[in-house]
Structure 1
């Protein structure tokens, strides 16, 4: 499939898509080559480009050095539109309790990392993969008791205010200029990106999964972060997005 750049809006996740994972979230930092590539892509698309991430917008600006205007942070609980208007959800009244309980849980298991954000708290256990069962039980219980939304990802459990996700963030962008009336293209790697894949499908767009095949709403796939960078660079040269590796039927969610 080939998509002419003039008719496309591009949405990108950050971790695992534009930047490789680091042992701790703050280990991901600015990269001059990547950020220059994104800056050029934003100009080429006439501003029809947004980052949609679980990170806060402040952290995204730190990593991307302010190169991208439109952003959705904290899974859509924060959103900055193309006019630089900021929309932020209210902090959930039980978030402080969740932060304390997540920190107490993490102290029991070496390698577990707690990421506290303005509107959520995340428990990363990529370096303690053998505690998946314990994390699952703890996360379900905490979500039930606090009313916070449990957002599961690859080796992460995050607790945040209900009501938003990456798909809803994409939908919000798509009814505003300069995105309105274009075909959305979403690139992401994590389970949290599935809502966005479903959203772009509903707009007649295309989702692209980064990484190995798995059950997904995405229709095409790229192998790695480096593959995403190369794909973006090729699109800048040709002014078309080429999608060449479809997701196999056995991995498609219908």
Structure 2
């Protein structure tokens, strides 16, 4: 996991409203869309779609969604507002020309998926998500199963060598070798983003990789949600604040 460098005691200000020279990398859940009881409960919203299209036009295309969701899910929720996208924590990435680069699933993913399904079958409320290159176990609707779910995930990680990625009431075992930080770094090497100042917006621990990558490339992270220890330099309160900020950047 990333170091989460920074102080929880230092109150972070809102990010500057600027457009010239920046590139935006935006997480989905908790940033562009509110958290929901189930992954499928999140859908397109007209304001979000309009804000994404407007800010992409203002930045000359230098905007990408970087999410733990698959690109297919990113497109469904964003209503196909953007071309550039990275899904499954950097394991798949779609470039500006529409081509998709996707890693091969580790053989351990199938083992983890089967174990998660067996676990969920005996526990109402558990949701298993198959992302091909990773397997997710959601316990938002069964919070009393959190400890048992973590124990299972750690056991499977030790058995398979997969990377364990905790999130908001979800545990994901994924093919090693990529994260949101590598996604940001790779996008910044593409012609569409090269030379810009990277700005990563995220809300949970998976986004710390993106914050650190942005900072290493001369940019910064923006934490969305409550103040905590983070590598981000700025903060916004919630999804509504993010959309308001994006709309302001589009008009800057």
Question: TM-score, with normalisation over the residues of structure 1?
Answer: 0.90
Aligned length, in residue pairs: 238
Cα offset for 1:113? 1.4
Q: How does 1:118-133 map to 2 (within 5 A)?
A: 118-133=132-147
Q: Aligned match of 1:61 in 75, 78, 97?
A: 75
Q: Aligned match of 1:172 in 186, 192, 217?
A: 186
Deviates more, 1:33-42 or 1:8-17: 33-42
Write the distance in 1 (CA, Å) between the matches of 2:121 and 2:248: 45
Cα offset for 1:90? 0.4
Please list the CA deviations of residues 53-93 of structure 1 after superposition, one character each: whole Å capped at 9, or x if unmatched: 01111111111121101000011110011122210100111
The question of whether the paired residues in 1 share the 8 Å contact of 2:17 and 2:249 is answered with no
Cα offset for 1:2? 3.2
Q: How does 1:198-237 map to 2 (within 5 A)?
A: 198-237=212-251
Q: How does 1:131-150 map to 2 (within 5 A)?
A: 131-150=145-164
Structure 1 partner of 2:8: none
Cα offset for 1:127? 2.1
Is there any run of 5+ residues in structure 1 with no aligned partner, and where? 240-254
- Structure 1: 4+ residue segments shifted above 6 A: none
The question of whether the paired residues in 2 share the 8 Å contact of 1:82 and 1:177 is answered with no
Write the distance in 1 (CA, Å) between the matches of 2:18 and 2:41: 35
Cα offset for 1:3? 5.7
Structure 1 partner of 2:45: 31
Write the distance in 1 (CA, Å) between the matches of 2:250 and 2:106: 41
Is there any run of 5+ residues in structure 2 with no aligned partner, and where? 1-14
Distance 1:2 1:24, change over 3 A: closer
Does residue 1:152 correspond to 2:178, yes or no?
no
- Pairwise CA RMSD: 1.3
Deviates more, 1:130-139 or 1:161-170: 130-139
Q: Tell me which of the two structures has the higher relative contact order, counting C-alpha pairs closer than 8 angstroms and 6 or more residues apart.
A: 2
Question: TM-score, with normalisation over the residues of structure 2?
Answer: 0.91
Q: How does 1:188-207 map to 2 (within 5 A)?
A: 188-207=202-221
Please list the CA deviations of residues 87-142 of structure 1 after superposition, one character each: whole Å capped at 9, or x if unmatched: 01001112222111001112233222111112111111122223332222111101
The question of whether the paired residues in 2 share the 8 Å contact of 1:200 and 1:207 is answered with yes
